[in-house]
Amino acid sequence: MIVVVCPGQGSQTPGFLEPWIAEPSFRDTLEELGDAARVDLVQHGTVSDADTIRDTAVAQPLIVAAGILTLDALFDGLSNTAGRRERVGGIAGHSVGEITAAAGAGILTKGDAMRIVGERGRAMADAAAVTSTGMSAVVGGDQAELLALFEEVGVLPANYNGGGQIVVAGAPDALARLAESVPRGVRVVPLQVAGAFHTHFMAPAVDRLAAVAASVHPSDPTLPIWTNNDGSRVDSGARFVELLVGQVSSPVRWDLDMEAFAAAGVTGLIEVAPAGALTGLAKRGLKGVPAVAVKTPDDLAAAFDLLDQAA
């Protein structure tokens, strides 16, 4: 079973959409997606610098739009080749990538997905501006020991990424105390993000996102889809959207998602653009499972090869 995975914030890099919009149909789609999100995705995906696309209000729509472009190319390609589409056994997204996954599973239309992510990005950027906060990745160590340390120094676990990585969030002084206090052999890597995502610091964004989510009419998924909430499979589109809203201020449990993929019999992963982060986590959390990171249209051939090998 092949699972398609959709990355979250931090996976974008300057100019990463340039190879995609060389194809006129992709450029047209990107313009339409940008209109829905109220963000100039063509500019930000091609010429904007790293600082500009690090802005949460820009980064999130960029990432979801890139994923939708990839899914269009992937699923159109699959539909043109007998038997390949059926080998896609499910889909999941990390953090904002859950909106991409919801579009891929047919829960949200492309336009609704972009309206939701546009407001999500703006609301989370506004929430982050209220208090100075940041995030750091903690790599290695015993999880129980680390959770006790997090509480002691005043940081909050935000992403349980699996493979020995937990992302924490909090005030700058608390993150500094953590870096000084971790056990030997544990690395703390500051992340270039603007706020304490997936914690109570994002509570103001939840109500704004809920208001937009209430205006859409989700469908039940046409592909198996797993939630960041607890790694479970969700069969109701309305329930998945509800979880999407709550996810803004609650931890991402990607570790449990990977456990669910393994339990379901995953034989391969395909990560949509801007790819790389989730295939990297899979090397540790799903050892031995082949994975393809679709960064540009040239990588689609490798994704199709992986599906063919799964026959």
Q: How far is CA 96 from CA 103, 148, 152, 267, in A?
A: 12, 28, 29, 25
213-224, pLDDT tens digit by residue? 999 999 999 999
Which amino acid is it at 194? Answer: A
pLDDT value at residue 217? 96
Write out the two tokens for 125: 């950027």
For 57-87, how does the pLDDT look when each residue is reduced to its tens digit (9 = 90+)?
A: 999 999 999 999 999 998 876 655 555 677 7
pTM for this prediction: 0.94
Q: What is the pLDDT of residue 143?
A: 94
Distance CA 35, CA 27 (A): 12
How many CB atoms are closer than 10 A to CB 296? 17
Q: How far is 88 from 271, CA to CA, in rounded Å?
A: 12
Structure confidence at residue 80 (pLDDT): 59
The CATH number given to 2-129+198-309 is 3.40.366.10
Q: How far apart are CA 206 and CA 272, in angstroms?
A: 26
**Beta-carbon count within 10 A of 125 CB:** 18
Residue from 220, 206, 283, 277 nearest 9 by CA: 277
CB 41 within 8 Å of CB 17: yes
CATH classification of 132-190 is 3.40.50.410, yes or no?
Answer: no
Instruction: Please give the Cα distance from 241 to 33 (Å, whole number).
Output: 19
Mean pLDDT per segment of 10 residues, for the chain of length 311 residues? 94 94 93 97 96 94 97 77 74 98 97 97 95 94 96 97 95 96 94 89 95 96 97 98 97 97 96 95 93 96 88 65
Do residues 174 and 153 make contact, with C-beta atoms less than 8 angstroms apart?
yes
Please give the pLDDT value at position 83: 58
Backbone angles phi, psi at 106, to 5 degrees: 80, 10
Burial 99-123 (b: 16+ CB within 10 A, else e): bbbbbbbbbbbbebbbbbbbbbbbb
Per-residue confidence (pLDDT) for residue 194, from 0 to 100: 77
- Quick check: 195 and 153 in contact, CB under 8 A? no
Domain ranges in the chain are: 2-129+198-309, 132-190
The pLDDT of residue 232: 98
Locate 208 and state its tokens: 């704004």
Catalogue the active-site residues.
95, 198
CB-based burial, 267-288: b 16+ in 10 Å, e otherwise: ebbbbbbbbebbbbbbeebbee
Collapsing DSSP to helix, strand or coil, 162 comes out as: strand
- The Cα 137–Cα 159 span in angstroms is 9
> According to the model, what pLDDT value does residue 171 have?
95
Residue 173's identity, in one-letter code, is D
* Rg, Å, the chain Cα set: 18
Alpha-carbon distance of 58 to 77, in angstroms, equals 29
